Amino acid sequence: MTKRVMVTLDDEQYEILSGIKGLGVKDAEKVRNVLIAYFSEKGYVKDATDNDRMKDIGPYDYPRFTWYKDINVDREAERLGAEFDVRPMNSPEPSEYEISIHKTTRKEMLIKADTVGAIISTFRAILYQREKAPFTVRDLKLREEILDLYPRRSASPLPVGYSFEPKFVTEDPDAEVKPQ
């Protein structure tokens, strides 16, 4: 929900805000932080809480792929099972009459951390959250493991179908987040 607020600006505030017009997208977060700090000092804005940090962020959903190597789902599930909850997904067994190049790649495993889960298969993984929530340390560890196993953002080397990682926040604002 968006609220409109009418604010009267003094000359100093107007000069700061009018200088923002030409900034690019990469600078938006810096500008936002500067504005929050500036207007907080002046008493116009209350400090941001976790709920404020989460308001523009939806549940996390991010597919990742591998191109030239197949992932052994059973071996990876066993390895990740030491730190996370792992359970097999219901996948149809291939019949002897089926003609398909992917009939042996249908096996999937569900791996769960605290608020983030991952569905892994031979060549694709989907990181997801059912409800938006800050990432815990275990969630970040699962994300890092999946990004290492599945290093690609698209299903093929062709320049189509890229997926981009959605925004997320962590419980600990100082947590180290590995870039994708």
| pLDDT tens string 23-35 | 554 555 566 666 6
| Res 78: pLDDT | 95
Residue (of 142, 143, 134, 130) closest to 173 by Cα position: 134
Q: Are residues 75 and 113 in the same domain?
A: yes
Q: Is there a domain that residue 164 lies in? A: yes
Same structural domain, 83 and 153: yes
Q: Are residues 104 and 129 in the same domain?
A: yes
Regarding whether 162 and 104 lie in a shared domain, the answer is yes
Q: Confirm whether 4 is domain-assigned.
A: no
Residue from 106, 120, 142 nearest 63 by CA: 120
The answer to whether residue 40 scores a pLDDT higher than 70 is no
> What's the whole-number mean pLDDT along residues 151-170?
87
Query: In terms of pLDDT, which residue wins out, 145 or 45?
Result: 145
- Whether 122 is in a domain gets the answer yes
Residues 27 and 70 in one domain: no
Residue 87 and residue 20 in one domain:
no
What are the strands, taking DSSP E only, across the chain? 61-65, 85-88, 109-112, 117-120, 124-128
Residue 112 and residue 38 share a domain: no
Is it the case that residue 165 has pLDDT exceeding 50? yes
Q: Is the pTM of this model over 0.85?
A: no
Domain extent for 137: 58-92+100-180
Residue 1 lies in a domain: no
Pairing of strands 109-112, 117-120: antiparallel
Q: Say yes or no: 42 and 118 in one domain.
A: no
Q: What domain count does the chain have?
A: 2
Asked, for residue 53, whether it belongs to a domain, the answer is no
Dist. CA 64–CA 62, nearest whole Å: 7
- What's the pLDDT at 82? 94
Same domain, 135 and 85: yes
Query: Is the predicted pLDDT of residue 16 greater than 80, yes or no?
Result: no
What's the order of all strands across the beta sheet hosting 61-65? 61-65, 124-128, 117-120, 109-112, 85-88
Whether residues 180 and 114 share a domain: the answer is: yes
**Residues 141, 109 within the same domain:** yes
What would the mean pLDDT of 129-156 be, rounded to a whole number? 93
Residue 77 in domain: yes
- Assess whether 26 and 62 both reside in one domain: no
| Average confidence (pLDDT) over 9-19 | 59
What values do phi and psi take at 125, rounded to 5?
-135, 145
